[in-house]
Every structure is written in C-alpha cells, then in structure tokens.
Amino acid sequence: MALSVLCLALAWAQVAADVTIAVVGAVNVDITMQVNRLPRRHETLMASSPAVQLALGGKGANQAVAAARQGARVRFLGRFGNDSHGPWLQQVLIENGVDTSACEQSALPSGQGMVMLDADGGASSVVVPGANSDWGSLQPGVLQSMLQGAAVLLLQREIPEAVNVAAAKAAKVLGITVMQDVGGEDGPLSEELLGLVDFISPNENELHRLTGLPTATRSEVLAAARSLNCTVLVTLGERGALLITEAEVLDARAFQAQVVDATAAGDAFRAAFAVALSEGQSLQSGLRLASAAGAIAVSRRGAEPSLPRRHECEALLRTPPEVLPEKPASASLGFASRLNSMRERLDLWGGATDTLGLVARQGRVRGLGAVYFNFPQHLAGLSPSEVLAALAAANLKAGGIALRFPESMRLGAFTNPDANVRRQAVDLTIQGCAWADALGAEEVVVWPQFDGYDYQLQIDYTHAWSTTVASLREVLDSAPCRSKKVSYEFKPTDAVSRFSLVPSTGAALLLLQEVDRANLGLTLDVGHLLMAGENPAQSVAMVGAAGKLFGIHLNDGHSRLGAEDGLIFGSVHGRAALELVFWLQKTRYAGSIYFDTFPTNEDPVREAELNIRQFQKLAKVAQTSGRSIDPLLQQHDALGVLELMEAYGDVHIVKRCRGYLYAKFDSETAAQLVLRAARQKLAVAGRELSVEVATARKKHWHCQIDEAYPPRVRRLQDGVVLIQHMLSMAMQSRVVQEVFALGASPQGFYTPQFGDREMKLRTFCLGKHWDTQSHAYGALRSDIDHRAVLPLPPFLSALAQGVLSDLDQKCGVKMFPDLQPDTCIVNHYTSEGSLGLHADLDESECSLIAGVPVVSMSFGCSCRFLYGEDAVLLKSGDIFIFGGPARRLSHGVAKIFPNTTPKKLQEVLPAGRLNLTFRQS
C-alpha cells in the first residue's frame, strides 16, 4: 500500500492522549512448561519446573496488552471460550486497560497455546485454536463500531483470514492504517488481503516462507521484501529490524538483551511501533521504541508478563543500541583452501615448508581469506601467538580447526572398543575447540576417518553408534566446545575403513538428530557425496533445510572405483556444480567456502585462485538465473531448465557510469531470457538491479541497469554536508515526473520577479508558500494569484527525512537536529550562466537559531553552487544539507552547465536543472 496513504492517515490521527489502537485477533491461555531440551520423537521428558505456568496469550491479546502498556487506548475484538479460562482471560485484558466490549463468547473452549521453553530461552509451541476459529458471520456494523476513532488496526494470522479481510476493508473505509502481522498460519497471504494493508510485518523466517527468497543478509532481506510490492516491517532478531517502503529503507539496531523467553517479543515490537505511529511519531522513532519493547520482552519469561510498560522502554531508549555484525552474504562468502596443498610444486616456492611457511604461501592466493588447520598435526610445537602472527603477516584469519585422529586409533576413535581410546578421542576434540578459541575461529570440523569397518561381522553397529552419540554429546557439552560450531564430516569409504559408520547424508542427519545438540552440524564434501552416489545439490538442500549445514568442501572427481580425485571445483560435473551453488544460495548458506583439492601436478596458488574464480562465476549465474529457475522447479520442467542453461551465457559487468551498470551477455537469447524472467530485478555480481531494455552492441548484448549508486558523504565545513550519488536514477525519474505533474496544475509553476527583473527560473511551493510582501509562510499564494498551495506529498517529505536518517546511520552520530519538513520550494532553472546569490530570509528566527537543516536535492544539469565564500559542484542525484551555524550563510546557484543531464533522466527532464529544497518553517 502506498506510503502516502499511511502518512495521510497518521496526519489525521488525534494526539497521543486520545488515540485508539484497534486489535482484531486471537486470545489464548498459554500453558508453559520449562524443559532442558525439546523431546525427540517417541521420547518422554520430565519438565525442569515442578508446575506449568498459565498466562494470557495469543498474538491478538498480546498485542492489545502491549499497546495498552505503551499508553494507548486499545479496543480488542476476539472470541472467548465457554470454559473457566474465558472469564479469566477477559479479566486480564480489562485489568490491563483493554476495552473488550466488542468481544463475544464462543460455544467452543478457549484457545490454548502449549509452550515448551528450553534452557536457552527458545520456545516451541503448538496452538489449539478453540474459540479463535469460531467467528460465524461477522456483521459489518460490529467492525464499524469497534474501529470508530482508531488510528491503527493490528491484525495477525491466528484467526480465519476472512475475518482479517473484513476488518481491513472496514478500516480502509474509515482511513485507518492497517498492520498485518504475518505470524500464525503458515501459508501465503491472499492478494486481496495484501491489497488492503499498509504494512505487513514478518520475521526473517516468515519473510523467507512468504517469498521463497533467501533472507540471511540485509541485501537479501531487502530483495525479498521488495518482491512483495508493499511496505514491509521485518524483524531480524539480534540484527534488529528493517522498514522497507517505496521511498526509503530504515534500520533499527537491536538493544543488547539476555534472551530468556522470546515468545511475545514480536508482539511487543509491533504493538509499540503501532502506538508510535498513532501518536504521529516519525517512522524512525517508531522503530526505536519498538526495538526497546522487543528487547525488554525477550529478557522476561512468559507472554503477557513479559510485555513492557512505556516508562521502561523510554529508560532503555536513553542507552545506545548494540551494533551487531551482519552475517556474510551468500554471494560473497569467505574462501579457504586446503593448507597441505601448499606442499605441492615446491619448485615454485622458495620459502619455508613448515606450517607457518605454508600459511605464508597460502597468503599469496588472491581472494583467499581463511586457513583451516589440521589438529594436532599442523599446530604441534607452535603457540597460538606464533600462528596468529603468521596469519596476520599473510593477511589471513583462522577459519577453523580440522580434527585428524592419530594412527593409534585405527580401530576407531569414537567407536573404538577400548573406552580409554574413546576418552582420548573426546579429549583431543576438546583440545581442538580450545585451539579454535585461541585463534579466534568459530568452527571445529570432525572427520573420524577410522570410525568404520572392513568386513561383515567385524563390529557391533548399534554399540558403535551409541558410543559415537555419547562421545559427541560429551564433546559438545564441554566448556571449550559449547560456544563453537562443531561440524561432523562423513566419508562413505576410505582406505583405512572400507565402510564408514556414517555412510550417507541421511545417516549423518540421523546422527545429528540423536545427539540433539544445537551446536552440532554437518560439513559436506563434494567428493565424499559423489563417492556415496549422492547428488551434491540434493544433499545440500536436505541439510540446509534442517539448518545444519555448517560447512561445505568443494572439489570434483571422475568417481572411478572409489577414487577421491580432489580436482578443481566444477571441472568434471559442471552442471552439478552450478546446481550445488544454486542450492547454497537458496538455503541461505552463510559459512566459508573451502576448496578441498589435491593439485599434485599444478601450481597450488594458481589452482586455488582458479577455484575461487570458478565459484564466483557459478554464483553469478545461479543468482542471475535463480528467478527463472524457480518456476521451472515447481513444474518439474527438465527441458525448460536445460533450455535455459543452454541459452544462458556468462554475465559480466563491463562498464560503470553514473547511475548505471552495463552487463554483457554471451548471446541475444541470454539477454532476452534475463529480461523476460526478471523484468523488475536482476542480480549481477551480488547486486540487485533494475533491468532496462537490452540493446545490441557489436558481438555482445548489453543491458542498461539502474543501480543504487553507493553514496559518498563529504563534510564540507561545520554544518555543511554533501551526499553524492544519493538518489538512484529510478528515484530521480520518479521525483521529476511527480513534481512536473504538480507543476503543470494551476497552483504550479510561475516565473518570479525580483523588483523589475524577471528571474531565470520557474518556481512553486508545496505545503506552504513564502509571501514576498508579508514575509511570512501561508496556505495561499497571496502575492501571486491567491490560489491555495498544493500539499506536500508525503513521499517527498519522507524522502527528505530518510536522507537525514541515512546520514546519521552512515556517520554513526546525529549530524543535524530533526527536520519536520512542511515546505518544499521547487525551482526549475531554464537558463545557463550566472544566477543570483541570496541568504535565507524566508524562515522563522527560531528555526534559524535552532539550526534546523535545509535539505536540497539536485536533478538534471550540474551546477556550481556557492555557500559563503566556498563553492561546490552539484550533480544530478546529489543532496546538499546545511544546518546549525551554516543556516545563515549566503548561498545560491552560480552557474548551470549545459548538456550534463544523465541520459536516462533526459526522457523526463529534457532541459535545465530541477532543485527541491525542503524546509521547516
């Protein structure tokens, strides 16, 4: 839904003391039991607490209470059960200040949420809908009465969708903002409901389910959210939240909190955001309040008991938020390579050949970022400080520790018949975790190469399995390993054990299920998967879907009679390699890419670099073609995929120029396929881009692509900031078209005069008009034609505020006082040459004293802009901001340079320069 509808609705909202939040949703009794861990199938566990806890629950009731505790007047429409819980639930709502007069009692018992809360604060629930499913025929009059006077309506997905649709329709008639929480029913939102809401609000996993797109990184979240074509508020746990509108993207950092119970954190977040909107706060302020509410909620046990009050949130708002690093993007993962491969072709290496010498040689591999050390072999006799120094000298970091059990364990490590040997294997693994901690690595890879057998009737399979499970549990529960990602690497056969105890991906997943520890995952090796007769991509899909893909080892081989060739990735099974990379992206893999290859005759440095390039090339093709492949997957269309791959050529960025990239395709067919499959968006080299018309260029085809050009912030002097490349070409085009459409109206452009001299520009005001005679702002153009001033479009004011918010985030400090723009002065310079210089006289003295900033946006021809005694070149898409003491500087356009409008913009701005200046009168 357009952001303008939201802003208009909020403008009509009453002041905070009078606003009302309406909530239509579910009310449950939450029955919470505490457990040390979740039970497995067919398993019975004792709870860790002697009794269950009862509390008000249900997303609708939680959000109603959360909004009331934030100071809003709340009306709730739900269904209470006919059991003893019904009156109690209603009383809890009333005691929290929630109006329940519109609610009815059902003939069914109350809805119930069975919550199992583990020791880490994670909650798993089963909801029995009960009365929440019994709405019958909802009368429109009930909804109209219940919604009367509300500013925001909160909806969730724990009641029938038909009820949500009816409520949203009634809200639209009354001009009420509608926020749809995606939590609840696990299914797609109907197009009808999507068309009625102003916000949809999923968490990261819900956004992934809604769109089928990866959401592991900020860029992936943005791409998924924008595919929904509406305003999206997505919560990202410890990474905060993002609000994605058609005009801007706003970030909310997470506050540091000890997670005790996350059951109602999302409800607290969304309710607080809705309250802020109803109070007329800015979107950014609303996100901050919501983040504080969510952080407090996760630190307390229970649903309704965890919901914070306003004064608690305001106290937390006075503390700085925690800044957490973003997960690495799947398109630009860190690369690592087998350290022992550096022992090959020593004729090409004149340095040392010990571990530290091998690290130095690996440092010569362009694009490599991490080293995995075999333990104990690589680290014997070394200290962590020596290793860290060598890594720093090679500009590398430790990626992880790879366990290599000694020959003394040939009868097995975790499966050895001797309990003392099994103890040694456990202790060695724990020592590996300690080394990983000392080197700053997060991963420990366990390859128990001796855990298998050569002959039938050689081992007791069930006993070997149980000792492996027990050993891994002991490792994972130890203090050094508890904070590490321990990754089990299976290999179906090896020279030291013809049959592995864990011979397949399925068996490995079964092992993980039985060990039942969150920090245990799998490392999949392509060569091992081929030896097992598996399709590597399918194995990645299975393990990734289970959330257990901790590592991937890439290589290739001819798979002849159990041989493990360790060849360059994609050199033999090219199509399989592409599919594997596609599924790494689809399952949102965010670990290292490790090349486990054996360049016995090749230069290992060049070989590693080729592996990196090969993966990057395949990742680019997989990203670019992914949107084309997905519908073919759904239809099991083998020929369609093969034809797509046949036509698809390499994609390369061949040229960058202002606001554009030019991508080269190997054939006309490939370019047209991309154009048909991704008319709105295309991913090239990890960037999400808008595709324009493909045009022939010699032997290749190029697509002109509009990219969000990376902005550059320049602080010119105290109170003066220039942001270059801030506005993408798509945004510039939209602004110019909308402003010119407004300017063509009777209240639009006119030619001003200064004394007897006619100015070399056209101008008009939005929001308020500056009267040159009375020297005051007003709603009429009293000194021109006495017409009413056109309103300032909400999307333009939001754009100006968003620029300042983005500036604060990029710089890490608040650069200027808050701007609440109520006026936009539109100037269209139609002539070149020198123009007038002026100082700001058309604002209130208090605004000048406060230093409230002016935001000036440039479109079209470049110009020389004067401010005080200095000058700067402004280009199309640049933003010039001056505030604080700089507000009193004389400033103005001195010269306009002809024929400098970007080519894409010439379609909507054929001549001259357009300037928008946002002010707070």
Annotated binding site for ATP: 203, 235-240, 266-267
- The percent helix, strand, coil of the chain (3-state, each to 5) is 35, 25, 40
Q: Which two tokens stand for residue 719?
A: 């109170």
Query: Measured between alpha carbons, how far is 865 from 220 in angstroms, rounded to an integer?
Result: 38
Q: How far apart are the first and last CA of the chain?
A: 30
Instruction: Give the DSSP per-residue string, 26-83.
Output: --EEEEEEE-SSPPPTT-----SSSS-EEEEESHHHHHHHHHHHTT-EEEEE-EE-SS
Instruction: Give the DSSP per-residue string, 260-285.
Output: S--TTHHHHHHHHHHHHHHTT--HHH
Q: Are 663 and 651 in contact (CB under 8 A)?
A: yes
**Residue 852 is which amino acid?**
V
Helix (H, G, I), strand (E, B) or coil at 438: helix
Residues 6 or more apart whose Cβ sits within 8 Å of residue 826: 739, 742, 743, 749, 763, 764, 765, 766, 914, 915, 916
Structural element, H or E, at residue 777: strand 776-778
Q: Are 186 and 209 in contact (CB under 8 A)?
A: yes
Query: Measured between alpha carbons, how far is 27 from 80 in angstroms, rounded to an integer?
Result: 7
Total count of residues recorded for the chain: 921
Query: Measured between alpha carbons, how far is 855 from 871 in angstroms, rounded to an integer?
Result: 17
Radius of gyration of the chain (CA): 32
Query: Measured between alpha carbons, how far is 277 from 308 in angstroms, rounded to an integer?
Result: 18
Q: Are 125 and 269 in contact (CB under 8 A)?
A: no
If we measure between CA atoms, which residue out of 164, 178, 196, 179 comes closest to residue 269? 179
Query: Measured between alpha carbons, how far is 858 from 893 in angstroms, rounded to an integer?
Result: 11
Active site residues: 267
Helix (H, G, I), strand (E, B) or coil at 185: coil
Q: Are 878 and 724 in contact (CB under 8 A)?
A: yes
Q: What are the binding residues?
A: 28-30, 58-62, 158, 203, 235-240, 261, 263, 266-267, 297, 300, 302, 306
Query: Measured between alpha carbons, how far is 824 from 763 in angstroms, rounded to an integer?
Result: 11
If we measure between CA atoms, which residue out of 74, 29, 73 comes closest to residue 52? 29
Distances, alpha carbon 311 to alpha carbons 70, 277, 289, 292, 320, in Å: 8, 18, 11, 11, 17
Q: What are the binding residues for K(+)?
A: 261, 263, 297, 300, 302, 306
Q: Are 720 and 816 in contact (CB under 8 A)?
A: no
Residue 786 burial (C-beta neighbours within 10 Å; 0-12, 13-18, 19+): exposed
Structural element, H or E, at residue 737: helix 729-743
Instruction: At 738, give phi and psi (nearest 5°).
Output: -70, -40
What is the maximal distance between C-alpha atoms in the chain? 108
Q: Are 684 and 662 in contact (CB under 8 A)?
A: no
Residue 309 burial (C-beta neighbours within 10 Å; 0-12, 13-18, 19+): middle
Q: Are 861 and 850 in contact (CB under 8 A)?
A: no
Query: Measured between alpha carbons, how far is 138 from 159 in angstroms, rounded to an integer?
Result: 13
Q: What are the binding residues for substrate?
A: 28-30, 58-62, 158, 267
Instruction: At 319, give phi and psi (nearest 5°).
Output: -105, 145
Query: Measured between alpha carbons, how far is 795 from 113 in angstroms, rounded to an integer?
Result: 41
**Residue 680 is which amino acid?**
Q
Q: Are 921 and 765 in contact (CB under 8 A)?
A: no
The strand pairing partners of 75, in sequence order, are 22, 99
